[in-house]
Structure 1
Amino acid sequence: MKKESRSQEKEIRIDLNYLRDLTKKMVKIPSPPGKEKEVALFIASELERIGIKGKLQRAEKDRYNVFAKMKGKTNKSILFQGHMDTIPDYGWKEAFWPKEKDGRIYGRGSVDMKSSIACAIAAMKALVSAKEVPEKTILLAGTVDEETEKRGIFTLIERGVEADMGVCCEPTDLKIGLGHKGNVPLRVSTKGRATHGSTPEAGVNAVYHMGDVLAAFEKNWRVNGKHIDGIGHVHGTYSVGIIRGGESYFVVSDQCHIWIDRRTIPGETKEDVKREVEGFLNPIKGSRPEFQYEIALNERPDWKWPKIIERGYKSVLISPKEEIVRLASSSYKKVVGSDPEMAFLMYWTEADFLVNEAGIPTIIFGPGEPAEAHSTHESIAVSQLERAARIYLDMMMG
């Protein structure tokens, strides 16, 4: 027999209509990086309306995090964190016109990740409506700029956020993420010697040299396997995303550039990545004596801010014995009736900062299928929204 959750025992219920409406209202507000102010003001206003004390936290001009606190019975605290920005519509005409169809809510941010923030707010509202004081102090943080340079999470950390445990509410299909890969963006450039296209033998074509570089990365796309207890085997990976080279079709190119997405596993550093890439590329000199290359770490075409360029993205892995894992597992089982699946995520989240900078043991756990994120059909099942909100509520009461 399925044991009743703490919220069921005390007749505290999630208002599903409120949860659906709140998700759609947030989706309707476009909030690409740099334009998050309206959604931040909306969330802060909504928190105040339902009786939760919140405040805006300035990340930079016209860009604000939202931070809220609900005092608990004990000195322990739990942080629920999510980002308020989304990617742009990228031509999806209905991205910011949410609709509900066949049990799913469609729209940009329905998965990544306004729905998760809505779940946490709906759970807090249920406590307020029932006049119930949570067991732990509940902290809610909505951050800006996750999709680009992470100014919001930098600000949250610099303001000294503290909690005994945390939930990064990114979509995991309600699997409990014990960690995720890091990311070292890098640029590799080949150097040549320009000359007229009619006399290519007089020059050195950087594009041809890049062909050998591409072959090396294709051959070595998966590297450094590691076994994680309870999860299985994981690897680091390389993926070439952008290539640029040449100035004119009748000029032998003297430079060519690629940008590479290197996903790292726990224990790997950017210095390790550089040495590894040098190991791939140095042998090319044996067949191309004039081969020259340059490696730039933590470089992405869309990164301009020195802080993120210096720091980059780090991997995360917490112990399955952490209290937050036990709490989430217990709440999941009470709500769903079965044990949750543990996962190590291939994608990066802001749990990196919560664990590695703030020292908060944090799981990644939220509704929505990750493959739906950033798509032109992004949608979330209403049933999973409700389930996530009920689990969050039980965790708040635990």
Structure 2
Amino acid sequence: MDKKQILELAEKYRDYTAENLSKMIKIPSYSAQEKEVCEAIMEMCKEAGFDEVRLDGLGSVVGRVGNGPKMIAFDAHIDTVEVGDPSQWKTDPFSGIIKDGLVHGRGASDQEGGAASMITAGRIIKELGYDGEYTCLFTFTVMEEDCDGMCWKYLIEEEKVVPDFVVSTEPTSCQLYRGHRGRMEMEVIIKGVSSHGSAPERGVSAAYKAARAALAMEKLNADLQPDEDNFLGKGTIVVSQIEVKGPSQCAVPDQARLYLDRRLTWGEDADLAISQVKQYIKDALGEEPEKVYMPDYTRRGYRDYDYGQELYFPTWKIDEDHELVVAGQKAFKELYGAEVKTDKWTFSTNGVATCGRHKIPTIGFGPGDEAQAHAPNEITRVKDLEICSAFYAMLPLMLEK
């Protein structure tokens, strides 16, 4: 198993990879509704000659090639967001059209393209008879769009699947990523005192307090600072929802709720973020809000299993000189004779669980572009699929050197 063989097979199977992606796109697979696409992926893995293919308890497909004493996992979530406004799509979102070197449709970049390249990589590794140090695990995970990382929290904590290394195949434009900001969600409860709308001076408006609290979050966002080495950049906070209610439409509202999306840079965590929200609102209102808390997420997946977690997704990164990053750089250079750009994602991935929560070294390398995620007319390049198939097959070899 060498560079030349890997490149030849990745090219040979380029159309096969694109066609597998097209098949996935043609099956709508929203979060918790992934059953049909998982069944299709299981058949693809079996056809590719995987040594083992199974479903975990949450519904993710877990494929294995090899029996080495160490384990590297390649991960793709295979659920997608919904279509949005259909009128903004030039082609059917579930067409899976392959044309002019592009695959079209929802999930092409985010992120079934990575899944298709993983299947081809498994086929290459199996076909070339790899019997080295690494068991290659290929995970096609569910419910990521709803709750990133929960699928891996389940695999690690409930099924005790703990790889030595993880590769996320989220879109990176075939660049090497080594981290991203974390995130969390918060709810803020504010109380007022109701009175008749004809005499607002008798009450205390929760609406006006909520407005001042929202402006306090705008100030907090402006005050947040980047991480020390400015790799991940500054954290952010945004008010994504405001709800106000009272006894009637002719009354001063006595209850308000703000929903916050907080992105966390290196060195920031949930306790810090909650304390900042409380302090800034206290400064704006002259009193602390009634409650600031982090909600929980629980949803029943397609296998009728309830699982959940708090809506906290820790920041993660690994050093540029980490052996996994170095191996990734070597793999790319060995294959293509060029240096690979090292960067980070803007959005969040399952790395929040593998590396952020469980400290398993994780990198990213995937087909397609971040900007395609959740956008209409989503595409990915067939050439990217070929590059990624070869990269995934080469990486275990580079880790052994």
Indicate yes or no: 2:155 matched with 1:156: yes
Cα 1:119–1:233 shift into 2, 3 Å: closer
Q: SS where residue 122 of structure 1 aligns? A: helix
What residue is the counterpart of 1:52 in the other structure? 50
Q: CA RMSD in A?
A: 2.4
C-alpha separation between the residues in 2 aligned to 1:184 and 1:357? Answer: 13
What residue is the counterpart of 1:195 in the other structure? 195
What residue is the counterpart of 2:22 in the other structure? 24
Indicate yes or no: 2:61 matched with 1:66: yes
> What amino acid sits opposite 1:227 in the alignment?
E
> What amino acid sits opposite 1:152 in the alignment?
C
Q: SS where residue 238 of structure 2 aligns? A: strand
Q: SS where residue 345 of structure 1 aligns? A: coil
Q: Give yes or no for contact 2:50–2:65 (8 Å, CA) kept in 1.
A: yes
- Deviation readout 1:160-190 (Å, 9 max, x if unpaired): 1122211011112222221111112111222
Q: SS where residue 282 of structure 2 aligns? A: helix
Q: Give yes or no for contact 1:184–1:261 (8 Å, CA) kept in 2.
A: yes
> What amino acid sits opposite 1:207 in the alignment?
A
C-alpha separation between the residues in 2 aligned to 1:307 and 1:322? Answer: 33
What residue is the counterpart of 1:299 in the other structure? 295
Correspondences of 1:319-338 after superposition (within 5 Å): 319-338=319-338
Correspondences of 1:3-14 after superposition (within 5 Å): 6-8=2-4, 12-14=8-10
C-alpha separation between the residues in 2 aligned to 1:260 and 1:29? Answer: 33
Q: TM-score, normalised by structure 1?
A: 0.88
Cα 1:331–1:34 shift into 2, 3 Å: same
What residue is the counterpart of 1:136 in the other structure? 134
Shift of 1:264: 0.8
What residue is the counterpart of 2:82 in the other structure? 88
Q: SS where residue 215 of structure 1 aligns? A: helix
Shift of 1:28: 1.0
Indicate yes or no: 2:79 matched with 1:78: no
C-alpha separation between the residues in 2 aligned to 1:314 and 1:357? Answer: 6
Shift of 1:284: 2.1
C-alpha separation between the residues in 2 aligned to 1:46 and 1:307? Answer: 27
Q: Give yes or no for contact 2:150–2:309 (8 Å, CA) kept in 1.
A: no
Cα 1:295–1:107 shift into 2, 3 Å: farther
Deviates more, 1:33-42 or 1:129-138: 129-138
Q: Give yes or no for contact 2:279–2:288 (8 Å, CA) kept in 1.
A: no
What residue is the counterpart of 1:317 in the other structure? 317
Q: Give yes or no for contact 2:6–2:393 (8 Å, CA) kept in 1.
A: no
- Deviation readout 1:28-58 (Å, 9 max, x if unpaired): 1111111111111111111112211333334
Indicate yes or no: 2:228 matched with 1:227: yes
- Of 36, 39, 53 in structure 1, the residue corresponding to residue 37 of structure 2 is 39
> What amino acid sits opposite 1:294 in the alignment?
E
Q: Give yes or no for contact 2:172–2:365 (8 Å, CA) kept in 1.
A: yes
Q: SS where residue 225 of structure 1 aligns? A: coil
Q: SS where residue 338 of structure 1 aligns? A: coil
Q: SS where residue 98 of structure 2 aligns? A: strand
C-alpha separation between the residues in 2 aligned to 1:34 and 1:292? Answer: 38
Shift of 1:304: 3.8
What residue is the counterpart of 1:184 in the other structure? 184
> What amino acid sits opposite 1:297 in the alignment?
Y
Q: Give yes or no for contact 1:184–1:297 (8 Å, CA) kept in 2.
A: no
Unaligned regions of 5+ residues in structure 1, if any? Answer: none
Q: SS where residue 392 of structure 2 aligns? A: helix
Shift of 1:90: 2.6
Shift of 1:273: 1.0
What residue is the counterpart of 1:379 in the other structure? 379
Shift of 1:257: 1.4
Q: Give yes or no for contact 2:6–2:390 (8 Å, CA) kept in 1.
A: no
Shift of 1:355: 1.9
Shift of 1:226: 1.4
Shift of 1:89: 2.2
Cα 1:142–1:85 shift into 2, 3 Å: same
Cα 1:203–1:246 shift into 2, 3 Å: same
Shift of 1:285: 3.4
User: For this pair of structures, how many residues does the alignment match?
Assistant: 382
What residue is the counterpart of 2:275 in the other structure? 275
Q: TM-score, normalised by structure 2?
A: 0.88
Identity of aligned residues (%): 27
Shift of 1:394: 1.8
Cα 1:17–1:133 shift into 2, 3 Å: farther
Q: Give yes or no for contact 1:274–1:295 (8 Å, CA) kept in 2.
A: no
What residue is the counterpart of 2:165 in the other structure? 165
Cα 1:233–1:138 shift into 2, 3 Å: closer
Q: Give yes or no for contact 1:127–1:134 (8 Å, CA) kept in 2.
A: no
Shift of 1:131: 4.3
C-alpha separation between the residues in 1 aligned to 2:311 and 2:213? Answer: 26
Cα 1:308–1:234 shift into 2, 3 Å: farther
C-alpha separation between the residues in 2 aligned to 1:161 and 1:320? Answer: 26
Q: Give yes or no for contact 1:166–1:324 (8 Å, CA) kept in 2.
A: no
C-alpha separation between the residues in 2 aligned to 1:164 and 1:137? Answer: 10
Unaligned regions of 5+ residues in structure 2, if any? Answer: 300-305
Q: Give yes or no for contact 1:182–1:348 (8 Å, CA) kept in 2.
A: yes
What residue is the counterpart of 1:174 in the other structure? 174
What residue is the counterpart of 2:302 in the other structure? none
- Deviation readout 1:267-316 (Å, 9 max, x if unpaired): 22211111111221112234xxxx6623433227xx34697443621111
Q: Give yes or no for contact 2:3–2:334 (8 Å, CA) kept in 1.
A: no
C-alpha separation between the residues in 2 aligned to 1:379 and 1:275? Answer: 41
C-alpha separation between the residues in 2 aligned to 1:30 and 1:341? Answer: 33
Q: Give yes or no for contact 1:192–1:292 (8 Å, CA) kept in 2.
A: no
What residue is the counterpart of 2:120 in the other structure? 122
Shift of 1:102: 3.4
C-alpha separation between the residues in 2 aligned to 1:310 and 1:115? Answer: 29
